[in-house]
Amino acid sequence: MPSPSIAARPSGPAAPSPQTNEAALRRKIASMLVVGFRGQRVDAGHWIMRAITRLGLGGVILFDRDQLTGARRNITSPDQVTTLIRTLRNASTGRLIVSIDQEGGAVARLNPDDGFPATRSEADVGATNSPTGTRAWAGGMARTLASIGVGLNFAPVVDLNVNRTNPAIGALGRSFSASSDVVVANAAEEVREHRAAAVRTVLKHFPGFGSATGNTDFGVVDVSATWRPTELEPFRRLIAAGATDAVMVAHLLNRQLDPARPASLSHAVVQDLLRGRLGWHGAVVSDDMQAAAISKRYGRDEAVTLALQAGVDMLVFANQQVYDEHVVDDTVAVVVDLVRRGRISEAQIDRSIARIDRLRPGS
């Protein structure tokens, strides 16, 4: 595994050219963001619609319930959410990414309360470990997503279930198994079934959440003493097999890989390990940038800066831990300033956009 010490970084990117088109740059940056919002119906005056039409927001993420209030958020029925997604897509000129967490079981934003089929958990599917059963399970979810217009699923979870009492993974039945073979076999089937329905997937949570004893949504989680290199195996094997569309990097602190920064903000984890040693060249997605594991330790501007410098392509702001209607404008302003000061290059942004574009509808 990589040495705990972080290698020296190359000097920062060159300052932006005076010819940089700031309006175009702002739209590029906005296209790298995926943002959550409240509302089962939206019109042209809703802030999320203005972010799409005026700024070129690249994606949205849908939830059934609001974490702060407990109220219905975006989903009440198949017809309602289909209309909502159509409205959002029609406002976009750039193939809007509509995303969701539809893992099955406890984490299913489309559920029977809102008129959708019940789904088995990954733990149930992995316990059966039947290719035919897995295909039926995954295919059903993928076709449901496609039928309402969702094009990106933040699934499958490929964490190894090494701590069955883990409150974020094991205790919720979110892992297929403690066995890499079972995880890889079932995740590969899930990815194939989603691709058959023209839905892209995101492997999570790199470099492995299975040994954790906490949930990064609610605080800092340190797996330095419990994480083992075997937790990389599902990611390594699925990447090598071509069964990967994108990878989500967790907010876990793992001092075996980086002595100071969480994985999502770590050059050593994203560039040296994921891109370098595991050979992943596609999109890297953040976990929720408003999660307490990040917000309790970093300001938004610093977290955005470190994530981009680490090599993350797509930044997710779920608007669940906090609710910020200015998050798109403010984040774009932060990154524009980074480009102006030469701390992030426009060429890097262009590379990220090219990776993200492979996740868009019709790719």
Chain segment 233-248, per-residue pLDDT in tens: 999 999 999 999 999 9
- Return d(Cα 152, Cα 122) in angstroms, integer: 18
Structure tokens, 236: 């390594």
pLDDT at 15 over 60: no
pLDDT at 10 over 50: no
pLDDT at 16 over 90: no
Q: Write the single-letter amino acid at 158.
A: V
pLDDT band of 222, cuts 50, 70, 90 = very high
- Return d(Cα 111, Cα 236) in angstroms, integer: 32
pLDDT band of 214, cuts 50, 70, 90 = confident
* Average pLDDT of span 333-358: 97
For the chain, give the number of residues.
363
Structure tokens, 222: 């340190």
What's the confidence (pLDDT) of residue 1?
35
What's the confidence (pLDDT) of residue 3?
34
Q: How many of the other CB atoms lie within 10 Å of CB of 263? A: 28
**For the whole model, what pTM was predicted?**
0.93
Structure tokens, 138: 């995954």
pLDDT at 14 over 60: no
Distances (CA, A) of 96 to 275, 308, 355: 26, 21, 14
What phi and psi values does residue 283 have, to the nearest 5 degrees? -70, 140
Q: End-to-end CA distance of the chain: give it in Å, rounded.
A: 35
Least confident interval from 217-221, 268-272, 301-305: 217-221
Tens of pLDDT, residue by residue over 135-148, are 999 999 999 999 99
- Return d(Cα 133, Cα 192) in angstroms, integer: 14
* CA neighbours closer than 13 Å in the CB half-sphere of residue 280: 34
- Return d(Cα 356, Cα 312) in angstroms, integer: 11
* Average pLDDT of span 279-294: 96
pLDDT band of 20, cuts 50, 70, 90 = low
Handedness of CA 16, 20, 22, 27 (dihedral sign): negative
Minimal CA–CA distance to 27: which of 48, 58, 49, 50? 58
H or E segment to which residue 142 belongs: helix 131-148
Minimal CA–CA distance to 328: which of 85, 47, 61, 74? 47
Mean pLDDT of the chain: 94
Distances (CA, A) of 160 to 17, 64, 230, 315: 46, 27, 9, 25
What's the confidence (pLDDT) of residue 218?
80
What phi and psi values does residue 60 have, to the nearest 5 degrees? -130, 160
* Residue that has been written with the tokens 């967790």 in this structure: 250
Q: Which residues contact 53 (CB under 8 A, 6 or more apart)?
A: 44, 91, 92
Tens of pLDDT, residue by residue over 24-65, are 999 999 999 999 999 999 999 999 999 999 999 999 999 999
Q: Which residues contact 311 (CB under 8 A, 6 or more apart)?
A: 267, 270, 271, 275, 284
Distances (CA, A) of 311 to 57, 103, 282, 286: 20, 26, 11, 10
Handedness of CA 12, 13, 18, 24 (dihedral sign): negative
What's the alpha-carbon Rg for the chain, to the nearest Å? 19
Contact 346, 16 (CB under 8 A): yes
